[in-house]
Amino acid sequence: MLYCIVQRYYSIERHILFLLSILLCYGEILLQKRRDGLWEVPGGFIELGESTEEAGRREVLEETGIEIGKVDLVGVFSGKQHYVKLPNGDEFYPITIAYVSREIKGGVLKADGTETTEAKFFNMNKLPEGLNPMIKNLIKQYTYSQLV
């Protein structure tokens, strides 16, 4: 069981180059609804001069209003199954570096209104319709790794 300091906030898992961030606690996960209508975990790209850990913390704060602390590496994901084609036609194979954090430093849960139209906690057993398939798969992998 994960325990957090601030209200009902959870701990975070994230990925990079195509950063992902999962906030878990008390069996719930923080998801954000993107402009395309898909639910995902907070995430984005690394800015120049940032470490992957710094980028993950920044993305979580920018997109959800939650400030996290220490992060632990969960895994690195890559390969053909992660292929992405953007609406503008750009194509790439992201390298996703996932982290988990059990340290919530503060903040107030709110969507940024730019990339995120809604930010909400969901029970791990009741994930929303419209969950990005890649994120769904990563959540399954992370959950399974915690059972082994």
Q: Which residues are catalytic?
A: 118
Residue found by looking up tokens 């059990």 in the block: 102
Q: d(Cα 64, Cα 62) in Å, to the nearest integer? A: 6
- What is the secondary structure of 56-110 as a DSSP string? HHHHHHHHHSEEE---EEEEEE-SGGG-EE-TTS-EE---EEEEEE--EEEE---
Task: Give just the sign of the alpha carbon dihedral 147, 56, 66, 120.
Answer: negative
Residues facing residue 92 across a β-bridge = 84
